[in-house]
């Protein structure tokens, strides 16, 4: 187990280095002079050179890369050339919003995806199963940004049931900072006004972000449940007179969960990537929105930081999924 | 489930925002303003906040724009145009109560000239730090290195900062740059209240503002809320989550105007739209081909694309700007002439391809490209339409070798002086997005330089007439149109004053008020 963990840890480090080289090179070979853009359309050559010097863009590429990596090791992602803000400070500000959205979405997708998968398998070929199938095909096929805008139009603009975007209403102040998750912080401090408001704001973006994951989890859980429910050991449980509910919840579901867990891990990574679209549509102040805002100005430090953070999260999620196999299936050995 | 959540939480209602009975104006916009230091940065969103937090010696108001005294109550120019003396008002004070003095003005100009960022380019060629002299607490003198006719026109964008506050927060020799990104030290009608990066910026009115308030019902606060998607912006306005927006498509403006709670302003602006042609490379190097393109284009279609809310350009200078003349024999669609010029260029039947580069996602530019594609097809010329994101477009236009045949560009003059437009056709603008035509004509350049350093307006006016005519004759650009500047407001918002000197979506918050 220890050896396996060490191997995985090393592979994460190597992948991260590879990722850092790629994002660094892409940022440097991309067309456009970030210093020129940051200096403004009317800036003189001297003004552009001042910015180049300040951000060491006139250093040779290997020197720039080494300096960037040194910073990364200290957790320093550099400074945004456009805003002059320290990127790690911005990340500290925006990352919790993204995690809050992703955690809420993945919890939603897992809870309802597994439930719909079970119901679909148990009530195979009934209207419940057909309904779940339509739902899951739609979930995979419909683009997130389209679904987001349609739901905004219908539920926010037309029927005024939910807010259009943002994390809180304009006039509502954020709760006292503890975890930086507004729902959590408002719960801890008993600030119900903020809690209710934050819940109303997270609901639509979380639903949209979770939709493809929910659909995939439903499909895969249904298929696995169907397979497991026809296995001999389930027949044996039934013959022993164990209740159907217990068979489904305890024996069938646990065995069906291994492929579902893989899907959850993959979907978590995709969800982090999906936040870029969803956060833009719903003005959710997370790192996706932050990266988009920076990318349109060729402001590469924030984009590089967000790419590395998302990549690292994806790798960690995969590691947890692999470790989770062992918990669900004792036959799994780590070497 | 959705309905359940909505009942549980209760969605927000329409109407303006209030806090403790005070009226707050909420403005929704796409662009953030992450660095509000007047010496470091400016763009339209930043300038909108800077204008609210700071004062300058002079201020642009109205349409046509007037340069009115603000911190300076009077100004005097020497006969040679090199010495400018300003007398300051005596009652102006910074937000912390310190008086605004000539020393503060000198320090603010020195700071911007030393840092060499943001608006520094406007004056750094004409003004040295040593040229600024404090005569007394309320009189300041600027001694320019050479006469610069547009000097006073640049001053509204040079905001005055409180040196004591800035330097108290300076780190090392950074002149307070780090602190000033998100903090202010001004004397403007508003002060900072809530600053949530990437979400919103809240300002509150300075009730005892030294200049006073024109309207007793003035807004008590102002929230600049960032909403990146234009569909969300429109929904937020219609739902009443924001009181004002801009940047909608012509169709969206025409749709929201039907809402009885909303009105849309519509003013001719000075933002010109043109297709810069590379005059030094490829087919467009030949003036006859450039003329053929200009005669082939269906100009009125641009007006249709803007649903009638635009006017055609009749000069390189925007209509309404000082010195503008309608240039005779302006290019309008004439396929016969287009074919003649194409034949002169040695391509009577076309048979070549041109590249048209425009901003990716900007629908109006794409539609204009399609019109051009159709027009050029009649001459046997193919048009390759290439959408690029803005940074890549600027990169393409920065070198003769990479600058496309045609590049769609909007330009807003920053000052009410013809020099700022004329200079776009001078060699010093090569490599900038508005200089991607790489226009070369020594005679025109000479006239531009002469007009820039001439003090006497009648002489300048004559020069600018010649400059406009010559540029039109040399045709480095397909001179397109000036689209109307539009904003949509909830009906309770009053007092909006349009000025073409304000950028893209920038509005002056000071005169606004809310009335039920």
Q: Answer yes or no: do B391 and A164 touch at CB < 8 A.
A: no
**Average pLDDT for B439-446:** 97
Query: In this structure, is residue A258 part of a structural domain?
Result: yes
- For residue range B62-88, list pLDDT tens digits in order: 999 999 999 999 999 999 999 999 999
Query: At A320, is the pLDDT very low, low, confident or very high (cuts 50, 70, 90)?
Result: confident
All residues of chain B having their beta carbon less than 8 Å from the beta carbon of residue A112 are none
Query: In this structure, is residue A74 part of a structural domain?
Result: no
Percent of chain B beyond pLDDT 70? 97
**Does residue A326 have a pLDDT over 80?**
no
**Average pLDDT for B307-311:** 94
**Does residue B361 have a pLDDT over 70?**
yes
Q: What are the boundaries of each domain within chain B?
A: 12-53+188-266+486-516, 55-163, 269-484
Residue A207 is part of which domain span?
Answer: 90-285
Q: Answer yes or no: do A166 and B12 touch at CB < 8 A.
A: no
**Average pLDDT for B256-280:** 95
**Does residue A35 have a pLDDT over 60?**
yes
Q: Answer yes or no: do A85 and B34 touch at CB < 8 A.
A: yes
All residues of chain A having their beta carbon less than 8 Å from the beta carbon of residue B3 are 161
What was the pLDDT predicted at A334?
66
**Average pLDDT for B203-213:** 96
- For residue range B312-339, list pLDDT tens digits in order: 999 999 999 999 999 998 999 999 999 9
What was the pLDDT predicted at A325?
76
**Does residue B306 have a pLDDT over 90?**
yes
Asked if B113 and B123 count as a contact pair (C-beta separation under 8 A), the reply is yes
At B361 the three-state DSSP class reads coil
Minimum distance, in Å, between the CA of residue B44 and any CA atom of chain A: 12
The answer to whether residue B343 neighbours chain A at the CB level (below 8 Å) is no
All residues of chain B having their beta carbon less than 8 Å from the beta carbon of residue A289 are 198, 228
Angle at A300 between CA B39 and CA A34, to 5 degrees: 50
What was the pLDDT predicted at B301?
97
Hey, of A84, A90, A172, A286, which one would you mutate to test binding to chain B, going by the most B CBs within 10 A of its CB? A84
Q: Answer yes or no: do B178 and A84 touch at CB < 8 A.
A: yes
C-alpha distance from residue A232 to each of A117, A210, A235, A251 (Å): 21, 35, 5, 12
**Average pLDDT for B282-306:** 97
All residues of chain A having their beta carbon less than 8 Å from the beta carbon of residue B9 are 162, 196-197, 199-200
Query: At B271, is the pLDDT very low, low, confident or very high (cuts 50, 70, 90)?
Result: very high
Asked if B150 and B141 count as a contact pair (C-beta separation under 8 A), the reply is no
Tell me, what DSSP letter sits at residue A172? P
Query: In this structure, is residue A163 part of a structural domain?
Result: yes
Average pLDDT, chain B: 94
Nearest CA in chain B to A297: B391
Question: Which candidate, A145, A101, A105, A95, places its Cα nearest to that of A287?
Answer: A95
Partner residue opposite A83 with nearest CB, options B3, B34, B223:
B34
> Would the CATH topology of B12-53+188-266+486-516 be identical to that of B55-163?
no
Q: Among residues 424-443 of chain B, which lie with CB inside 8 Å of chain A?
A: 432-434
Axis crossing angle, helix A300-328 with helix A2-29, rounded to the nearest 10: 160
Angle at B375 between CA B369 and CA B378, to 5 degrees: 140
All residues of chain B having their beta carbon less than 8 Å from the beta carbon of residue A303 are none
Q: How many helices (H) and strands (E) does chain B have?
A: 16, 22
What was the pLDDT predicted at B288?
98
**Does residue B12 have a pLDDT over 60?**
no
Q: How many residue contacts between A and B have a Cβ separation below 8 Å?
A: 161
Joined together, the tokens standing for residue A294 give 């920076």
Asked if A60 and A325 count as a contact pair (C-beta separation under 8 A), the reply is no
The answer to whether residue B174 neighbours chain A at the CB level (below 8 Å) is no
Query: In this structure, is residue A33 part of a structural domain?
Result: no
C-alpha–C-alpha distance, residues B217 and B212, integer Å: 12
- For residue range A134-183, list pLDDT tens digits in order: 888 888 888 888 999 999 999 998 888 999 999 999 999 999 999 999 99
| ipTM tops the 0.90 cut | no
Minimum distance, in Å, between the CA of residue B93 and any CA atom of chain A: 29
Q: Among residues 132-191 of chain A, which lie with CB inside 8 Å of chain B?
A: 149, 152-153, 155-157, 160-167, 169-171, 173-174
Higher-confidence position of B229 and B479: B479
What was the pLDDT predicted at A323?
81
Query: At A28, is the pLDDT very low, low, confident or very high (cuts 50, 70, 90)?
Result: confident
Q: Among residues 366-395 of chain B, which lie with CB inside 8 Å of chain A?
A: 389-392, 394-395
Query: In this structure, is residue A7 part of a structural domain?
Result: no
Partner residue opposite B120 with nearest CB, options A36, A47, A204:
A47
What was the pLDDT predicted at B297?
98
Q: Answer yes or no: do B232 and A165 touch at CB < 8 A.
A: yes
- For residue range A82-105, list pLDDT tens digits in order: 899 999 999 999 999 999 999 999
CA dihedral B172, B175, B179, B182 (to 10 degrees): -160
**Does residue A116 have a pLDDT over 80?**
yes
Query: In this structure, is residue A184 part of a structural domain?
Result: yes
What was the pLDDT predicted at B500?
92
What was the pLDDT predicted at B373?
98
What was the pLDDT predicted at B451?
95
**Average pLDDT for B227-249:** 91
Asked if B177 and B115 count as a contact pair (C-beta separation under 8 A), the reply is yes
Looking at residue A255, which CATH number applies to its domain? 1.10.3720.10
Tell me, what DSSP letter sits at residue B339? H
Hey, of B113, B390, B391, B394, which one would you mutate to test binding to chain A, going by the most A CBs within 10 A of its CB? B391
Partner residue opposite A32 with nearest CB, options B116, B177, B391:
B391
All residues at 6 or more sequence positions from A98 whose CB lies less than 8 Å from its CB, including other chains = A272, A275, A279, A284, A286, A287, A288
Partner residue opposite A170 with nearest CB, options B120, B200, B392:
B200
Q: Answer yes or no: do B6 and A162 touch at CB < 8 A.
A: yes
Nearest CA in chain B to A48: B117
**Does residue B3 have a pLDDT over 60?**
no
- For residue range A186-198, list pLDDT tens digits in order: 999 999 999 999 9
Nearest CA in chain B to A32: B395
In DSSP terms, B195 is beta-bridged to B201
All residues of chain B having their beta carbon less than 8 Å from the beta carbon of residue A40 are 41-43, 118, 121
Q: What CATH topology corresponds to B55-163?
A: Dipeptide-binding Protein; domain 1 (3.90.76)
Angle at A299 between CA A296 and CA A300, to 5 degrees: 115
Query: At B2, is the pLDDT very low, low, confident or very high (cuts 50, 70, 90)?
Result: low
How long a stretch of residues is chain A?
Answer: 335
**Does residue B8 have a pLDDT over 80?**
no
Hey, of A29, A31, A98, which one would you mutate to test binding to chain B, going by the most B CBs within 10 A of its CB? A31
Query: At B7, is the pLDDT very low, low, confident or very high (cuts 50, 70, 90)?
Result: low
Q: Among residues 97-126 of chain B, which lie with CB inside 8 Å of chain A?
A: 116-118, 120-122, 124-125
What was the pLDDT predicted at B386?
97
Query: At B466, is the pLDDT very low, low, confident or very high (cuts 50, 70, 90)?
Result: very high
- For residue range A206-216, list pLDDT tens digits in order: 999 999 999 98
Query: At B9, is the pLDDT very low, low, confident or very high (cuts 50, 70, 90)?
Result: low
Q: Please state which CATH number belongs to domain B269-484.
A: 3.10.105.10
The answer to whether residue A29 neighbours chain B at the CB level (below 8 Å) is no
- Lowest-confidence range among A242-251, B44-53, B364-373? A242-251
Nearest CA in chain A to B195: A173
Asked if A259 and A265 count as a contact pair (C-beta separation under 8 A), the reply is no
Query: At B15, is the pLDDT very low, low, confident or very high (cuts 50, 70, 90)?
Result: low
**Does residue B512 have a pLDDT over 70?**
yes
All residues of chain A having their beta carbon less than 8 Å from the beta carbon of residue B433 are 41
- Lowest-confidence range among A261-275, B91-105, B234-248? A261-275
All residues of chain B having their beta carbon less than 8 Å from the beta carbon of residue A162 are 2, 5-6, 9, 11
**Does residue B135 have a pLDDT over 90?**
yes
Joined together, the tokens standing for residue B300 give 């009125």
What was the pLDDT predicted at A335?
64
Domain count, chain A: 1
C-alpha–C-alpha distance, residues B451 and B439, integer Å: 18
**Does residue A110 have a pLDDT over 90?**
yes
**Does residue B34 have a pLDDT over 70?**
yes
Percent of chain B beyond pLDDT 90? 87
**Average pLDDT for A30-55:** 88
All residues of chain B having their beta carbon less than 8 Å from the beta carbon of residue A161 are 2-3, 6, 11
Q: Answer yes or no: do A160 and B392 touch at CB < 8 A.
A: no
Higher-confidence position of A241 and B135: B135
- The architecture of the domain spanning B12-53+188-266+486-516 is 3-Layer(aba) Sandwich (3.40)
Minimum distance, in Å, between the CA of residue B294 and any CA atom of chain A: 27
């Amino acid at each position: 187990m220890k050896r396996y963990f060490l191997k995985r840890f090393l592979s994460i480090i190597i992948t991260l280095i590879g990722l850092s080289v790629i994002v660094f090179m892409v940022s440097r070979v991309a067309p456009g002079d970030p210093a020129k853009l940051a200096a403004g359309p009317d800036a003189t050559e001297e003004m552009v050179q001042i910015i180049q010097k300040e951000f060491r863009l006139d250093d040779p590429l290997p020197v720039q890369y080494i300096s960037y990596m040194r910073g990364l090791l200290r957790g320093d992602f550099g400074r945004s050339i456009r805003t002059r803000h320290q990127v790690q400070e911005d990340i500290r500000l925006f990352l919790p919003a993204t995690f809050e959205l992703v955690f809420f979405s993945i919890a939603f997708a897992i809870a309802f995806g597994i439930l719909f998968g079970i119901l679909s398998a148990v009530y195979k070929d009934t209207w419940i199963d057909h309904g779940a199938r339509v739902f899951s095909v739609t979930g995979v096929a419909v683009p997130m940004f389209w679904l987001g805008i349609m739901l905004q139009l219908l539920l926010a603009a037309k029927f005024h049931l939910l807010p259009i975007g943002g994390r809180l209403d304009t006039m509502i102040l954020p709760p006292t900072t503890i975890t930086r998750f507004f729902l959590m912080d408002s719960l801890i401090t008993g600030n119900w006004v903020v809690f209710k408001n934050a819940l109303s704001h997270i609901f639509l973006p979380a639903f949209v972000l979770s939709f493809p994951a929910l659909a995939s989890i439903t499909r895969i859980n249904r298929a696995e449940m169907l397979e497991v429910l026809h296995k001999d050991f389930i027949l044996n449980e039934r013959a022993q007179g164990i209740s159907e509910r217990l068979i489904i919840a305890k024996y069938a579901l646990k065995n069906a969960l291994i492929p579902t867990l893989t899907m959850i891990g993959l979907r978590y990574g995709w969800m982090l990537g999906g936040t870029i679209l969803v956060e833009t549509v719903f003005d959710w102040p997370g790192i996706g929105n932050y990266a988009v805002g920076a990318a349109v100005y060729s402001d590469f430090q924030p984009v590089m930081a967000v790419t590395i953070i998302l990549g690292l999260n994806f790798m960690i999620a995969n590691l947890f999924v692999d470790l989770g196999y062992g918990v669900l299936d004792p036959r799994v050995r780590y070497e | 489930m959705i309905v359940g959540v909505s009942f549980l939480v209760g969605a927000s209602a329409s109407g303006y925002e209030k806090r403790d009975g005070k009226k707050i104006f909420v403005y929704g916009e796409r662009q953030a303003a992450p660095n509000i230091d007047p010496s470091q940065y400016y763009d339209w969103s930043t300038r909108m906040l800077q204008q609210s937090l700071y004062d300058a010696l002079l201020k642009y108001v109205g349409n046509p724009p007037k340069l009115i005294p603000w911190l300076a109550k009077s100004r005097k120019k020497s006969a040679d145009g090199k010495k400018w003396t300003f007398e300051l008002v005596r009652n102006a004070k910074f937000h912390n109560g310190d008086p605004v003095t000539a020393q503060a003005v000198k320090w603010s100009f020195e700071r911007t000239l030393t840092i060499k960022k943001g608006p520094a380019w406007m004056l750094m060629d004409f003004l040295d730090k040593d040229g600024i002299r404090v005569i007394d607490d309320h009189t300041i003198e600027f001694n320019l290195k050479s006469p610069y006719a547009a000097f006073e026109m640049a001053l509204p964008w040079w905001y005055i900062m409180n040196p004591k506050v800035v330097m108290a927060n300076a780190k090392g020799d950074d002149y307070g740059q780090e602190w000033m990104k998100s903090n202010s030290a001004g004397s403007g009608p508003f002060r900072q209240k809530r600053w949530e990066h990437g979400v919103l910026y809240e300002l509150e009115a300075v009730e005892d503002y030294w200049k006073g308030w024109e309207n007793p019902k003035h807004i008590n606060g102002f929230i600049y809320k960032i909403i990146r998607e234009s569909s969300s912006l429109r929904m937020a306005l219609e739902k009443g989550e924001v009181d004002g927006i801009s940047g909608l498509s012509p169709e969206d403006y025409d749709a929201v105007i039907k809402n009885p709670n909303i009105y849309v302003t519509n003013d001719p602006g000075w933002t010109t739209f043109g297709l810069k042609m590379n005059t030094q490379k490829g087919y467009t190097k030949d003036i006859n081909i450039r003329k053929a393109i200009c005669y082939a284009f269906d100009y009125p279609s641009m007006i249709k694309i803007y649903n009638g809310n635009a006017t055609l350009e009749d000069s390189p200078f925007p209509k309404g700007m000082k010195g503008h003349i309608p240039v005779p024999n302006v290019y309008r669609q004439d396929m016969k002439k287009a074919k003649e010029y194409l034949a002169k260029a040695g391509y009577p039947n076309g048979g070549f391809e041109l590249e048209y580069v425009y901003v990716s996602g900007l629908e109006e530019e794409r539609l204009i490209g399609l019109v051009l594609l159709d027009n050029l097809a009649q001459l046997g010329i193919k048009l390759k339409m290439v959408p690029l994101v803005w940074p890549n477009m600027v990169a393409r236009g920065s070198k003769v070798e990479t600058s496309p045949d045609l590049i769609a560009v909007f330009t807003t003059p920053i000052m009410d002086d013809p020099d700022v437009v004329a200079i776009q056709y001078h060699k010093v603008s090569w490599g900038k997005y508005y200089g991607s035509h790489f226009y070369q004509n020594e005679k025109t350049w000479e006239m531009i330089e002469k007009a820039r350093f001439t003090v006497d307006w009648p002489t300048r006016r004559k020069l600018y007439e010649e400059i406009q005519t010559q540029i039109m004759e040399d045709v480095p650009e397909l001179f397109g149109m000036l689209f109307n500047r539009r904003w949509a407001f909830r009906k309770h918002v009053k007092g909006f004053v349009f000025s073409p000197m304000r950028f893209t979506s920038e509005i002056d918050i000071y005169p606004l008020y809310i009335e039920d």
